[in-house]
């Protein structure tokens, strides 16, 4: 099985990488690293897996910790992060719930959702 991912910008790639590793990817300040050839292994057990639902969408406890009082700001989500999370839900058979979420925000599609509502949308998506 092969997975190909294409990014429009460096920032989009970093946002995707943060989703995969839980938000710990730092942006590069030096020159980009030269491309290296990928080494293929014959052992299928060593192949990377796609992120699971739990890795792509924060659970309720993570959301509560982010929104806990104590001076911490609410996480600001970008359109691509929300799109990725909803895509995972859709791929796991929750198309109707995703559509219901968009209807809740009076939107026909994700781009119609007001960006200030992304945090609440992600919270509700995480509860599904």
What crossing angle do the helices spanning 79-91 and 10-21 adopt, rounded to 10°?
Answer: 50
Q: Tell whether 1 is covered by a domain.
A: no
Predicted local distance difference test score (pLDDT) of residue 59: 55
% helix / strand / coil in the chain, to the nearest 5? 50, 0, 50
Q: Tell whether 4 is covered by a domain.
A: no
Predicted local distance difference test score (pLDDT) of residue 102: 92
What global pTM score does this model have?
0.45
4-15 confidence digits (pLDDT tens) = 778 788 788 888
Q: Tell whether 54 is covered by a domain.
A: yes
Range of the domain at 46: 10-26+39-127
How many domains is the chain built from? Answer: 1
Q: Tell whether 19 is covered by a domain.
A: yes
In degrees rounded to 5, what are phi and psi of residue 71? 90, -5
66-116 confidence digits (pLDDT tens) = 555 555 567 888 999 999 999 998 999 999 999 999 999 999 999 999 999
């Amino acid at each position: 099985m092969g997975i190909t991912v294409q990014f429009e910008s460096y920032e989009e790639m970093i946002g995707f990488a943060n989703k995969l590793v839980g938000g710990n990817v730092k942006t590069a300040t030096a020159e980009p690293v030269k491309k290296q050839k990928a080494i293929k292994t014959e052992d299928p057990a060593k192949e990377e897996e796609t992120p699971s639902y739990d890795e792509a969408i924060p659970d309720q406890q993570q959301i509560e910790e982010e929104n806990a009082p104590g001076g911490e700001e609410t996480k600001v989500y970008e359109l691509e992060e929300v799109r990725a999370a909803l895509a995972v839900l859709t791929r796991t058979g929750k198309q109707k719930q995703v559509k219901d979420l968009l209807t809740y925000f009076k939107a026909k599609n994700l781009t119609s959702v007001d960006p200030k509502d992304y945090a609440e949308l992600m919270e509700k998506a995480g509860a599904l």
